[in-house]
Amino acid sequence: MKNTVFVSLFSLFLVSACSSGNSASHLPSPLELPGAVIGSVFENATYGVRKRRVEAYVAKNYLAIRADARKGGGQAIEGALNVAGLKGVKRDRARNELINDQAMYFHHVVSVVDNLINNFTALYMPNRREDKLINGFSYMEARGVIRDYADQNFEALRIAIQQGQGKALDELTSRLNIQNEQKRQAFKQRAKPLYKRIYLDLISVLLMVNS
């Protein structure tokens, strides 16, 4: 964090020097910078550190957080709230959302569909056009195939996407009629980097929005 703050302030010094009437070699002292600007630098650096800590905690404890939500609370959820620095009403609100809206945070089929449909269309149509067939499917038909499979096999597909391989991804590529082996492998390999966005970011965003 100290390095981030130093770099940010140094950049501001350079900007101030270049925009001032003085020579470009003049670097203003921190006292010459507006207080709101300095405060913003420290606030942004602090936010960045907390965001990385929250994301790391959620990635490491996803299953425990989900288990806590299913039983109405627990140490993993409280740990997430602690890492995010949530207190009082904000803490209660975030906890209640995780517990009461599990379909959103732990069975978000739409998030799976939105990400995998882009993965699928990229194999056959880099410049996506929803009025064209994609490997024999209309855009909405392909979404429906992914949605139905993800809803029925959510956990198996989650694990397969996390690993970038597995029976669930193999079955999904078959349902999407991806017969070319190179394209099948590409679909699976491209799915792995989507894991964080599909399964973890919703929880991290909830915690950060309330912090």
Contact criterion met (CB below 8 Å) for 196 and 59: yes
- Tokens at residue 83, please? 């890492």
Contacts of 127 (CB under 8 A, 6+ apart): none
Cα dihedral 178, 182, 188, 192 sign:
negative
Which of residues 4 and 187 earns the better pLDDT score?
Answer: 187
Tens of pLDDT, residue by residue over 33-72, are 455 443 444 456 678 888 999 999 999 999 999 999 999 9
Q: How many CB atoms lie within 10 A of CB 94?
A: 22
Beta bridge partners, 134, equal: 137
The C-alpha atoms of residue 159 and residue 157 are separated, in whole angstroms, by 5
The C-alpha atoms of residue 142 and residue 42 are separated, in whole angstroms, by 46
Tens of pLDDT, residue by residue over 102-144, are 999 999 999 999 999 999 999 987 655 556 788 999 999 999 9
Measure the CA angle with vertex 7, ends 6 and 12; round to 5°. 95
The C-alpha atoms of residue 199 and residue 116 are separated, in whole angstroms, by 13
Q: How many CB atoms lie within 10 A of CB 25?
A: 6
DSSP 6-17: HHHHHHHHHHHH
Q: Any idea how long the chain is?
A: 211
In this prediction, residues 193-202 reach a mean pLDDT of 95
Which of residues 87 and 7 earns the better pLDDT score?
Answer: 87
- Tokens at residue 37, please? 């600007």
Q: Which amino acid is at 38?
A: I
Inter-CA distances, 15 with 3, 12, 39, 152, Å = 18, 5, 17, 55
Residue with token string 């970038």: 164
Q: What is the pTM of this model?
A: 0.75
The C-alpha atoms of residue 9 and residue 22 are separated, in whole angstroms, by 19
Contact criterion met (CB below 8 Å) for 94 and 108: no
